[in-house]
Amino acid sequence: MAKKLFLKTLGCAMNVRDSEHMIAELNRIERYDLTQDESEADLIIINTCSVREKPVNKLFSEIGQFVKQKKKSAKIGVCGCTASHLGDEIFKRAPEVSFVLGARNVSKITQAVSTDKFLDININYDESKYAFGEFRQNPYKAYINISIGCDKKCAFCIVPHTRGDEISIPHEIILSEAEKAAKEGAKEIFLLGQNVNNYGRRVGGGKRGEMNFSQLLTLISKIDEVKRIRFTSPHPLHMDDEFLETFSSNPKICKSMHMPLQSGSTQILKSMRRGYTKEWFLERAQKLRQMSPDTAISTDIIVGFPGESEEDFEDTMNVMEEVGFEQIFSFKYSARPLTSAAQMTNIVDAKTASSRLKKLQERHAVLLDKMTPRYKERVFEVYFEELRENGMIAGRTSQNFTVCVNGSEDLLGKIKNVKITRPQRLILYGQVV
Ligand code: 5AD
Ligand code: SF4
């Protein structure tokens, strides 16, 4: 009989893919069916994120809940970024946990499950050529890793300490994964890496790769069955002309660009060690708008980084206005262990940081309210991928806007033209035309 697996995934798309990899690996040895009910699970895995403090704090109370609910024989494992950074401490604080597997060690999941108190959090382990088993939760959109780790040393970020140095996955592996997924019906390929447009700088063994990110995008776009390509996350520093040119001119590349700004103040960017200035960011964003006017630009912003003055914050607000981001993900700075910013003493108090976050989000809502009505009557190509309640079905435009129409599951996996009748901030409602 199949075993039951309860798998909770937190964090970014990389983690979502790591979870798929673990499911595939487990199923190589014996069958595991996914369950949403931890009390019937034989195996409970928490795939964690440590980018901000909150989810880390919640981890131990969550493990406590699982211990209470679980079957006596069920094992609990902690994987992912928090596993990498806390390691052995997890066993000490939660003795019921039977294995701890780092974000760069997920290929060892079957070993972890079958060994008592298994611990592997080696961030120098090279999984870049590991041939993972096959499992995809979404048949329409195939997540594919193109690199592991991150070479940047942003002062606020724990990721280089949990995922290790950056290594690009050989393009032959990526291409064959994309071909296979596309032949099985995934019209959209979603390339993943901490720093995708740095692709090819280093492959396993330390050598330079044979192709850069622009060339990789072009190669994947030649697969007939692939209709859409997305990627996350690119770094503003590596948005050179060749990349912007490839992005703008290739019709299969979705017109949605994530440009993580973090701060609009050159001084704060310097102390964050982002490697670009406010001017560089604005120039790249303007060039992108010029070359590809239909592109929607999203961003990540941190407020309250140590030393951020009112003037620095105003710089961030101004860049937001000037670029007119279609979407923002905004966060209050959270000091993370192992990072250089954690040593900084010029802390912004929590109240100021909260009020800046609120101000930023309110200003962005005003921006969105100006942008959204423009989509009325516009026709977008929508790739349908999700059934919603009340007979609605949802999909995405190339710009990554969510569109909902009345329709049945016949639309799933299809790309159709939709005319927008009722545009709202987060969802554009429309009709297939
Ligand atoms: N505090 C707040 N936000 C952070 N991020 C990364 N590290 C921190 C931190 N220490 C945000 C960045 C990044 C996104 C994934 O999370 O904006 O782009
Ligand atoms: Fe993803 Fe970063 Fe969170 Fe790790 S710490 S799960 S890489 S967002």
Angle at 187 between CA 183 and CA 191, to 5 degrees: 100
In a domain, 98, yes or no: yes
pLDDT for position 54? 82
Ligand number nearest to the C-alpha of 258: 1
169 alpha carbon – ligand 2 mean position (Å): 19
The pLDDT of 266-290, averaged and rounded, is 98
pLDDT for position 142? 98
In a domain, 216, yes or no: no
In a domain, 386, yes or no: yes
Pocket test for ligand 1, best of 82, 263, 302, 328 (most atoms within 8 A of CB): 302
Give per-residue pLDDT as tens, 195-251.
Answer: 999 999 999 888 899 999 999 999 999 999 999 999 999 999 999 999 999 999 999
How many Cβ atoms are within 10 Å of 433's Cβ, its own excluded? 8
**149 in contact with ligand 2, CB cutoff 6 A:** no
In a domain, 175, yes or no: no
157 alpha carbon – ligand 1 mean position (Å): 6
The pLDDT of 178-203, averaged and rounded, is 96
Among 98, 120, 142, the domain-final residue is: 120
What CATH number is given to the structural domain containing 39? Answer: 3.40.50.12160
Among 88, 120, 152, the domain-final residue is: 120
pTM > 0.85: yes or no: yes
In a domain, 197, yes or no: no
In a domain, 395, yes or no: yes
Q: Which atom of ligand 1 is nearest to the CA of 336?
A: 10
d(CA 372, CA 369) in angstroms, rounded, equals 6
Pocket test for ligand 1, best of 10, 12, 51 (most atoms within 8 A of CB): 51
Ligand number nearest to the C-alpha of 333: 1
Contacts of residue 286, Cβ cutoff 8 Å, sequence gap at least 6 = none
Mean pLDDT of the chain: 97
The pLDDT of 44-49, averaged and rounded, is 96
| Confidence grade of residue 56 (pLDDT, cut at 50, 70, 90) | confident
Ligand number nearest to the C-alpha of 330: 1
What CATH number is given to the structural domain containing 428? Answer: 2.40.50.140
**306 in contact with ligand 1, CB cutoff 6 A:** no
pLDDT for position 205? 84
| Confidence grade of residue 55 (pLDDT, cut at 50, 70, 90) | confident
Number of domains in the chain: 2
The pLDDT of 331-348, averaged and rounded, is 97
In a domain, 28, yes or no: yes
pLDDT for position 214? 98
pLDDT for position 336? 96
Among 86, 120, 154, the domain-final residue is: 120
**333 in contact with ligand 1, CB cutoff 6 A:** yes
pLDDT(144) > 90: yes
In a domain, 300, yes or no: no
| Confidence grade of residue 57 (pLDDT, cut at 50, 70, 90) | confident
Question: How are strands ordered across the β-sheet holding 256-258?
Answer: 256-258, 296-303, 327-332
The pLDDT of 118-132, averaged and rounded, is 96
162 alpha carbon – ligand 2 mean position (Å): 8
Give per-residue pLDDT as tens, 401-420.
Answer: 999 999 999 999 999 999 99
Residue 389, domain extent: 376-432
Q: Is the peptide bond before 233 cis (omega within 30 degrees of 0)?
A: yes
Pocket test for ligand 2, best of 50, 101, 233 (most atoms within 8 A of CB): 50
